[in-house]
Amino acid sequence: MKIGIVLETKEAEKAWNAFRFGVKALENGHEVRLFLLGEAVECEGVSHPQFDVPGQMAAFAERGGGILACGTCLRSRHMEGTELCPVSTMQDLVDLVVWADRVVNF
């Protein structure tokens, strides 16, 4: 199955769970792409003693998960895309939704 995940928060536990879900889906043989929207574009910088968001992001990418980051959301925060989270567009989000058999929103 193709699973699209839309993450709209940088709240540590929710973001951590979104990436854990993605990792588990990849481990179960599904294709997974994740789109960071709004404040979620800040996830690479989240630091929390209990919820290692950057670690889960890395685990997701290492297993072949694709991450995209909203370019408008990045620019509004004076941020740029990264190798892990390249700058993307609303068209990329539309394409993800069309591509996916199921879309999950966190």
* pLDDT confidence of residue 72: 97
- Please give the tally of structural domains in the chain: 1
Residue 67, token pair as written in the block: 């991450």
Question: Tens place of pLDDT for every residue, the chain, 106 residues?
Answer: 999 999 999 999 999 999 999 999 999 999 999 999 999 999 999 999 999 999 999 999 999 999 999 999 999 999 999 999 999 999 999 999 999 999 999 9
The model's pTM is 0.94
Domain span at residue 80 reads 2-105
Which CA distances in Å does 27 have to 14, 30, 62? Answer: 20, 7, 11
Q: Which CATH number fits the domain that encloses residue 73?
A: 3.40.1260.10
Alpha-carbon span 81 to 88, nearest angstrom: 8
Alpha-carbon span 86 to 18, nearest angstrom: 18
